[in-house]
């Protein structure tokens, strides 16, 4: 499908976390990868897409790094205040989109700040397959390894059927109004929300899984960054 035939979309990037598992001197989205910050690579795939309507990055109030990177001056990128949890940041980002003129039925893609290897083909696949979907959905990857359910003592209770298990990736794509209502209601009810799809699920909807590439990994630990650096050097 030609990219210009895909639906228009907004993007929210929650980027207020500190990334403590990276054991670095700064939030992981500002670590260097291929000569630039991780978040710069993350934003590239969206900024290069002709159907992008606008992009909001949700940052900590005391973030000292954002203004030093070149993309901070891109007029298509707006800044919103990040929250204590990911869901708080996303809600703030959605509210900022409303203030920018986004409509309730506009598509919004939420993507991890430290997931810099999103392929354009995966982005177009997500947009194309969900363009007319009543709910929306997310990029995901079927589980490949044998899965074990553990007991409190650390011993295996059972082997889980991996054929029905998927790893949730991002972007996750939902209508602005639906996602905002689902997140707000779940937070008000004290429900633990780990990603946008879990809020939509809690609201009673069934997001669609769109199979994407497994190398669209989220950089969480030092070895993730090392793996991606090595992969990029080999291409």
| pLDDT of the residue at 73 | 93
What value does the mean pLDDT take over residues 69-90? Answer: 94
Lowest mean pLDDT among 95-99, 139-143, 213-217, 220-224: 220-224
Q: Cβ neighbours of residue 58 under 8 Å, at least 6 residues apart?
A: 12, 13, 14, 15, 16, 79, 80, 81, 82, 83, 89, 90, 92, 93
Instruction: Specify whether the CB–CB gap between 10 and 176 falls below 8 A.
Output: yes
**Per-residue model confidence as pLDDT tens digits over 88-102:** 999 999 999 999 999
Q: Distance between CA 130 and CA 118 in Å, rounded?
A: 17
Residue pair 8/50 in contact by the 8 Å Cβ criterion: no
For 134-147, the pLDDT digits (tens) are 999 999 999 999 99
Domain architecture of the chain: domains with CATH: 3-233 (3.90.550.10)
How do beta strands 77-81 and 52-59 pair? Answer: parallel
Average pLDDT, the chain: 94
Residue 19 has pLDDT above 70, yes or no: no
CB 197 within 8 A of CB 172: yes
pLDDT band at 9 (very low <50, low <70, confident <90, very high): very high
Which of 15-29, 38-52, 161-175 is predicted with the least confidence, judged by mean pLDDT?
Answer: 15-29
């Amino acid at each position: 499908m030609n990219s210009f035939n895909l639906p228009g979309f907004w993007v929210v990037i929650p980027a207020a976390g500190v990334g403590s598992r990276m054991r670095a001197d700064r939030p992981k989205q500002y670590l260097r990868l291929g000569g630039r910050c991780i978040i710069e690579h993350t934003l590239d795939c969206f900024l290069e897409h002709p159907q992008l309507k606008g992009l909001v990055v949700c940052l900590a109030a005391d973030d000292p790094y954002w203004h030093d990177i070149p993309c901070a001056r891109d007029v298509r990128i707006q800044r919103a205040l990040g929250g204590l949890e990911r869901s708080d940041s996303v809600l703030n980002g959605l509210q900022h989109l409303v203030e920018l003129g986004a409509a309730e039925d506009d598509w919004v893609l939420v993507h991890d700040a430290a997931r810099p290897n999103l392929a354009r083909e995966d982005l177009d696949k997500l947009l194309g397959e969900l363009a007319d979907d009543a709910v929306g959905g997310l990029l995901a990857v079927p589980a490949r390894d044998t899965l074990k359910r553990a007991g409190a003592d650390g011993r295996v209770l059972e082997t889980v059927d991996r054929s029905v298990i998927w790893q949730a990736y991002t972007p996750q794509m939902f209508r602005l109004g639906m996602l905002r209502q689902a997140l707000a209601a779940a937070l008000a009810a004290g429900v633990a929300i780990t990603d946008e799809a879990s809020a939509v699920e809690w609201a009673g909807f069934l997001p669609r899984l769109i199979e994407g590439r497994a190398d669209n990994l989220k950089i969480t630990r030092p070895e993730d960054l090392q793996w991606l650096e090595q992969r990029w050097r080999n291409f």
